[in-house]
């Protein structure tokens, strides 16, 4: 069993599964109308970021992920919604031990999607193993040092992930799940066996301040890139350009923005207007999405 992967699919859901599925549908669906598959969402193994979920956290996440949508690449676009979780379970593999010496424990989920013409290719990709890796988006209340137990969001304890202290390798343990947002099909997960997109929050803040500013910076960069794209390709609508830019990573946006800005500069005098925009920008503009 590998974390972060679709495990198996079923031709038709059993009676108990169908009853759970129909809790989320607007009308009762028959077994012939839905496609189901099982997936491992996350586990208690240390990931590439030097973080792992506590076993107790997996129990809490099991409740939070029921009913959550499956999307692509953590996109917030509703058009990417493809499936929904209708059941979860925490499973223990007693024959396997994690790098921290714990029995391997993972959070599994059962998901469904309607059998439609539009979903036909996706179902084929899942059955063929093309769409396999997944990643989850969630919010955790604590991120503690495995060596001393310090919450690293509140205080720097000096211990470094990946380093050994008195024969024990350090990592960050994620505890107290607060919310589960979504789960996504991804090409390259962040974890070695499960890609996990994690955000920690304190008090009422939904995510860390750094993550929030990162999102705002990317959004602003996407808007700037879309603006230059519209200047270079005036036949393409601003709405279409914006949608195209939203699918790019920050690194890709930087490269595209630079190239388009140079091309746009050959058509219109950009620098004076850009400089004026910078001088007149207000603090509130940074928060406009």
The per-residue pLDDT for range 71-86, each reduced to its tens digit, is 887 766 677 778 899 9
Domain boundary among 169, 204, 239: 204
Q: Is residue 289 part of a domain?
A: no
Q: What is the mean pLDDT of the chain?
A: 77
Q: Are residues 219 and 252 in the same domain?
A: yes
Cα R_g (the chain), whole angstroms: 22
Determine the pLDDT at residue 194.
Answer: 42
- The answer on pLDDT for 188 being more than 90 is no
Mean pLDDT, residues 3-29 taken together: 80
**In 10 A of CB 59, how many CB atoms?**
14
Q: What percent of the chain has pLDDT over 70?
A: 72
pLDDT for the residue numbered 242: 73
One domain, residues 132 and 31: yes
- Residue 52 and residue 29 share a domain: yes
Nearest residue to 146 (alpha-carbon basis) of 135, 154, 157, 136: 157
Tell me: do 10 and 144 sit in the same domain.
yes
Asked, for residue 1, whether it belongs to a domain, the answer is: no
For the chain, how many structural domains are there in total? 2
User: Which tokens in the block code for residue 90?
Assistant: 């925490």
> Between β-strands 51-53 and 168-169, what pairing exists: parallel, antiparallel or unpaired?
unpaired
Does residue 67 lie in a domain region?
A: yes
Co-location of 199 and 215 in the same domain: no
Same domain, 57 and 162: yes
Query: Model's pTM, two decimal places?
Result: 0.62
From 204, 236, 255, the end of a domain falls on: 204
Out of 204, 229, 251, pick the residue that ends a domain.
204
Which whole number is the average pLDDT over 232-259?
74
For 275, the domain range is 211-282
Looking at the structure, tell me whether residues 170 and 262 fall in a common domain: no
- pLDDT(55) > 70: yes
| Nearest CA-CA partner of 43 in 131, 103, 133 | 103
pLDDT at res. 216? 60
Q: Do 41 and 168 share a domain, yes or no?
A: yes
- Specify the range with the lowest mean pLDDT, choosing from 104-113, 181-190, 246-255, 275-284: 275-284
Q: Do 260 and 122 share a structural domain? A: no
Q: Tell whether 88 and 20 lie within a shared domain.
A: yes
Name the CA dihedral angle for 156, 160, 161, 165, rounded to a multiple of 10 degrees.
Answer: -120
Residue 281 has pLDDT above 50, yes or no: no
First and final CA of the chain: distance in angstroms? 41
Is residue 96 within 8 A of residue 43, CB to CB? The reply is no
Q: Quickly state the pLDDT bin for 158 (edges 50, 70, 90).
A: very high
Do 50 and 179 fall into the same domain? yes
Q: What is the pLDDT of residues 3-14, one digit of tens each?
A: 465 655 555 788
Residues 50 and 77 in one domain: yes
């Amino acid at each position: 069993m590998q974390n972060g992967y679709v495990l198996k699919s079923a031709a038709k859901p059993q009676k108990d599964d169908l009853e759970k599925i129909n809790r989320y549908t607007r009308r009762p669906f028959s077994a012939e109308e839905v496609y189901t598959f099982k997936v491992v969402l996350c586990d208690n193994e240390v990931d590439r970021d030097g973080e792992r979920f506590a076993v107790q956290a997996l129990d809490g996440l099991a409740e939070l992920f029921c009913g959550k949508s499956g999307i692509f690449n953590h996109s917030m676009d509703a058009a990417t919604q493809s499936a929904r979780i209708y059941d979860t379970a925490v499973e223990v593999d007693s024959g396997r031990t994690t790098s921290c010496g714990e029995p391997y424990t993972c959070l599994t989920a059962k998901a469904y999607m309607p059998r439609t013409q539009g979903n036909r290719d996706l179902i084929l990709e899942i059955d063929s193993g093309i769409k396999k890796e997944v990643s989850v988006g969630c919010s955790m209340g604590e991120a503690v040092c495995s060596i001393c137990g310090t919450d690293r969001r509140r205080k720097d304890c000096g211990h470094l992930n990946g380093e050994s202290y008195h024969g024990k390798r350090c990592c960050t343990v994620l505890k107290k799940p607060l919310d589960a947002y979504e789960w996504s099909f991804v090409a390259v997960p962040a974890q070695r066996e499960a890609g996990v997109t994690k955000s920690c929050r304190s008090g009422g803040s939904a995510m860390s301040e750094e993550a929030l500013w990162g999102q705002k910076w990317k959004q602003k960069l996407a808007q700037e890139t879309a603006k230059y794209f519209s200047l270079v390709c005036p036949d393409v609508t601003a709405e279409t350009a914006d949608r195209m830019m939203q699918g790019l990573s920050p690194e890709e946006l930087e490269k595209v923005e630079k190239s388009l800005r140079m091309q746009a500069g050959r058509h219109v005098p950009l620098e004076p207007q850009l400089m004026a925009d910078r001088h007149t920008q207000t603090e509130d503009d940074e928060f406009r999405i």
